[in-house]
Amino acid sequence: MISPEPSETPESPEALGLGALRPRLPSPVREAVDERFARRGVRLLLKRDDLIHPELVGNKWRKLAPNLRAAAGRTVLTFGGAYSNHLRATAAAGRLLGLPTVGVVRGQELADRPLNPSLAQCAADGMRFHFVDRSTYRRKSEPKTLAALLRACAAEDAYVIPEGGSNSLAVLGCRALGEELRDHGGVDVAAVACGTGGTFAGLAAGLGPGRRALGIPVLKGGFLDAEIRTLQDEAFGGPRGDWSLDDRFHFGGYARTPPELEAFAADFEQRHGLPVERLYVAKLLYGLVALAEENAFPRGTTIAAVITGSPHPRPAP
Ligand SMILES: Cc1ncc(COP(=O)(O)O)c(C=O)c1O
């Protein structure tokens, strides 16, 4: 067995065989001076995971990298909705690494319509699509349904990544995000927006003692505590880290972006020159400002908000 070079960590791009992707790691951290935090004696740092890679943006790099390695050159098949960031990132990774990719897309009706810009990008990157009705899509992880889907896609040998990319390898990949914040020093609270909870499950595990992870779910439902516990059990064999969720900032559910949230995000962009992704990052930042205004953070707290994505398409510089 060839041991990694001494400079390689187990999750470094070289050790993963993904050096061609050239990610920027550790991702940069910068302070956002914002009076809504400053007047309460709280510091806000932005952990710029959106700068890791132009196409495998933010948590997509962290979740996909270990899975791409495990795919070992096989076709990668995964799942998503019509605007899925995860599908786009998988398709881009396929193009960059020369791996065939298949996207199982929710919504049979989309098969007969022109592709939206997000799916058009996936197609341009070489992704093949298989559109399925919503009921099949809901059952996609059941072994019989999955086997039928793989047959229908002529991809029986494919490496399958779940919707949103959150499996054990992804959670292990996201642990490095927590470790980077631990090593940065001075962070008390690390906050991230949650969809499936995979990024958060890993982040919480990597932070180490004395720091806590705060998750802001963007979906309505209150089911995420249990899912995060399961993800941590599967990845680490038990619970890890000091973490909690605040369920009040989903704005009615996934992809709901009412005018109040839109105005907040536009204002944050102006104040800090940060392109704010609306479905996840805007809800995280809104939640943090609201919590600061409730005096939820003791004076002297330093919060690191993880910027897990950027708007699509990216605004012109
Ligand atoms: C920009 C962005 N932030 C956060 C998340 C949430 O990640 P997770 O599904 O791991 O909770 C996603 C979804 O993958 C995302 O696209």
Q: Is 310 in the pocket of ligand 1 (CB under 6 A)?
A: no
Q: Is it true that 19-57+167-306 and 75-157 share their CATH fold? A: yes
Probe ligand 1: pick from 78, 83, 280, 312, max atoms within 8 Å of CB?
280
Q: Is 81 in the pocket of ligand 1 (CB under 6 A)?
A: no
Q: Is 173 in the pocket of ligand 1 (CB under 6 A)?
A: no
Q: Is 49 in the pocket of ligand 1 (CB under 6 A)?
A: no
Q: Is 309 in the pocket of ligand 1 (CB under 6 A)?
A: yes
Identify the CA nearest to 80 among candidates 161, 142, 9: 161
Which atom of ligand 1 is found nearest the CA of 86? 14
The CATH number fitting domain 19-57+167-306, selected from 3.40.1010.10, 3.40.640.10, 3.40.50.720, 3.40.50.1100: 3.40.50.1100
Q: Distance of CA 87 to CAs 74, 77, 118, 122, Å?
A: 17, 10, 9, 7
Q: Is 58 in the pocket of ligand 1 (CB under 6 A)?
A: yes
Local confidence pLDDT in tens for the 317 residues of the chain = 333 344 456 566 666 667 778 899 999 999 999 999 999 999 999 999 999 999 999 999 999 999 999 999 999 999 999 999 999 999 999 999 999 999 999 999 999 999 999 999 999 999 999 999 999 999 999 999 999 999 999 999 999 999 999 999 999 999 999 999 999 999 999 999 999 999 999 999 999 999 999 999 999 988 999 999 999 999 999 999 999 999 999 999 988 999 999 999 999 999 999 999 999 999 999 999 999 999 999 999 999 999 999 997 766 55
Grouping H, G, I as helix, E, B as strand and the rest as coil, residue 307 is coil
CA 14–ligand 1 middle distance (angstroms): 25
Which atom of ligand 1 is found nearest the CA of 85? 16
E strand spans, 12-55: 29-31, 43-47
Under a CB-based contact definition with an 8 Å cutoff, are residues 280 and 218 in contact? yes
CA 199–ligand 1 middle distance (angstroms): 7
Q: CATH fold of 75-157, please? A: Rossmann fold (3.40.50)
For residue 46, what are the β-bridge partners?
30, 305
Give the strand pairing for 43-47 and 29-31: antiparallel
Q: What's the CA gap between 308 and 298, in Å, rounded? A: 25
Domain ranges of the chain: 19-57+167-306, 75-157
Nearest CA to ligand 1 atom 13: 195
Q: What's the CA gap between 71 and 140, in Å, rounded? A: 20
CA 315–ligand 1 middle distance (angstroms): 20
CA 285–ligand 1 middle distance (angstroms): 14
Q: What letter represents residue 81's amino acid?
A: G
Check residue 248 and give its pLDDT. 97
Q: What letter represents residue 98's amino acid?
A: G
Show Cβ contacts of residue 146 under 8 Å, excluding neighbours closer than 6 positions: 140, 160
Which atom of ligand 1 is found nearest the CA of 218? 6
